[in-house]
Amino acid sequence: MLLHDATTISLCLRLFDWARYKTKKGAMKMHTLLDYDGHLPTYVNITDGKTANNKGASDIPLRKGSVIVADRFYNDFSLLYVWGGNEVYFVVRNKDNIQFKTVRELELPSNRHEHVLKVEIIELTGSKTKSKYPKRLSRVALWDEKNQQTIEVITNQMSWTANTITELYKARWQVEIFFRDIKQQLHIKSFIGTTQNAVMIQIWTALITILILKALKTQAKHPWYLFNLVAFIRLNLFVKVELHKWLDNPFAKTQPLPNKYGQGVLF
């Protein structure tokens, strides 16, 4: 399963005049495809801030049989039709203004999955949307208890249960956590250089670093939190230790080095 989203990296337009986003703001955008199993990026496309999320997703390489989960910004029926034509399954949040008709409403399971409000097979009826996506879709409405709101998602996979679809969409939050980690832990908010090349180098360096850190976190026996691991590595960056032993047991007492050149007693 793949989780897809984009995050905007704000830049000061007075320093980064090449990154014009709005009249008084500069920005770049990082379009990321995250592998759910390891919570690691499999594809990253860095564009200017003006590039829409769905446009940044058009070049993403997706294998046949992949499952991609995305937010409402990717509710582009031309893009979804291309994904479906390539035998890629999608779960995307539905927009409120989409026009459709219900072909068949499915029966909800009794006494379980009470957060599922409705499951139905639909066809698009808008003149533009129907021409872009003429096939049927499955629409699932669910209740988000945390935010006290109803969320609607659509998918081209008709055989999944409603609960499976809702759980897939809930997993999308992992990509938001990834964006938080890379911005807060690796400081992708302030940049050393001001040229486009300098900014790109710092972003790609941060991505490589997060891959290494998460790999170390997975291998370690100690239950590290990522922010603790980053902080401890910074403190011990120039300390000569055996890395994997330290990762497994960071609070072990270190033995003093043997004194091979001890001086004899003079008196």
* Residue pLDDT, tens place only, 112-121: 777 888 889 9
Indicate whether 184 and 170 sit together in one domain.
Answer: no
Q: Are residues 156 and 92 in the same domain?
A: yes
Q: Which residue has the higher pLDDT, 159 or 262?
A: 159
Residue with tokens 């991609």: 68
Which secondary-structure segment (H or E) carries 117?
strand 116-124
Same domain, 44 and 160: yes
Query: According to the model, what pLDDT value does residue 135 have?
Result: 92
- The answer to whether residue 264 sits within a structural domain is no
Q: Are residues 231 and 166 part of one domain? A: no
Q: 224 and 100, same structural domain? A: no
- Relative to beta strand 116-124, strand 26-35 is unpaired
Dihedral pair phi/psi, residue 138, rounded to 5°: -105, 130
Residue 83 token pair: 């994904």
Answer yes or no: do 147 and 230 share one domain: no
**Which pLDDT belongs to residue 81?**
92
199, 28 Cβ separation under 8 angstroms: yes
Residues 161 and 243 in one domain: no
Residue 39: which pLDDT band, with cuts at 50, 70 and 90? confident
Q: How many domains does the chain have?
A: 2
96-111: average pLDDT:
84
Q: Is residue 265 part of a domain?
A: no
Are 189 and 172 within one domain?
A: no
Instruction: Specify whether 172 is located in the same domain as 190.
Output: no
- Band (pLDDT 50/70/90 cuts) for residue 91 is very high
pLDDT digits (tens, 9 = 90+) for 8-18: 888 888 888 88
Give the residue numbers spanning the domain of 85.
Answer: 2-178
